Structure 1
Amino acid sequence: MSDAPLPTIIQLTPLDPTYRADPHAVLDDLRARCPVRQDPISGAFVLSRYADVRAVVSDRGLWRDALNAEEGTQARKRVEENYDPSVPRGESTSILTLDDPDHARIRQPLSQALYARVAKFRPEVERIVDEALDRLPTDAPFDLMDLFCVPIPIDVIASILGVDHDRLKEFRAWSEGTILGLNPFRTPAQTEVMERASGELAAYFLETIAARRA
């Protein structure tokens, strides 16, 4: 067991060369010495054991919204920078970070509509996977993540949501840009990409919803 200082939250990301080279060694050591720890830089709690993580993410009694985090934490500071109390929270953040009652109000109708559609979608998913496999090069090395793993979930989600096929390239760009919101270490340039992508994605869906209602 190491007697080195415990890693900060930044040292538990690919930004740190030691973690990037062998994340398992860093995490194994952290689990052995201090599996639950409050990071001194961000104020966030770092959990490195599966059972602890599973218990936390499954606990509906815990808050998800960073506005409910402790004073002074980086997560709360980042949200407070652009927080407008006049805008309903359900319109200013993702359902992933909403707390009840807003979370339950939005999740229930979404689940009913989405699960029914997903249940009928297996043949379409198989078609998307087969086409992705057929496009892979057979005579040269290729990046599996770039050509197969990343596009498939985006294409499947787009199809489930009924995104126009001719807007699929844009939908991929919007999705990848919006996902940057989950990166607490994103650069100002990445934040700009995220905000632009989120705005364009929201505009597309609002336009689509209005057209279908009409």
Structure 2
Amino acid sequence: MAQAGLHFDHVSIALGSTVLVALDCRLAPGEVLTVMGPSGSGKSTLLAFVGGFLDRAFTARGRVFVGDDEITNLPAEERHAGILFQDPLLFPHMSVAGNLVFAIPERISGRAERRDRAEQALEGVGLAGMGDRDPDTLSGGQKARVALARVLLSEPRTLLLDEPFSKLDADLRRQMRELVFAKARDSGLPTLLVTHDEADAEAAGGTVVRIGS
């Protein structure tokens, strides 16, 4: 299936009378838009709006499209937005493979097929053969890779990145930036990154929007 772009149609988000974010732009498949600003400036609020979990304290206007499909008023689970947070948020009671299988769409049936897809996803992030591991035995960098593989297995139509590199050390940050942005490009996923780190924006390429300055 051909991937679609992401369109922000005169989007604005306000808290009371203060407009935090105003955005009107289009992202091609595989392109990254970086929104930068200090803590509390509204970066994550924009992600919440796109993902479908914006706090009711905020007022949002405008529309969001993925391809020709407007997602502005859809429930979060129908938006097919893959989200990576600062923490990997792996399920501790499941194996690594269990975490991945959980994300595979239900239409893909058959235990063997689902397990095979999970193993392929692990290989794709450099963790071949680690499906039976307990997530607690993984390093921080390995957990981040599993979280990325899980998001990609869910077959998202867009990728939302909420400072996912911020808790990694410098070398791991560089590795994960390269991996995440390469996967986004290869998968044709329009990607929204929010960060306060200039190195993230530089690695992402594409347009940078600065808010709250």
TM-score normalized with structure 2 length: 0.31
Greater share of residues in helix: 1
Greater share of residues in strand: 2
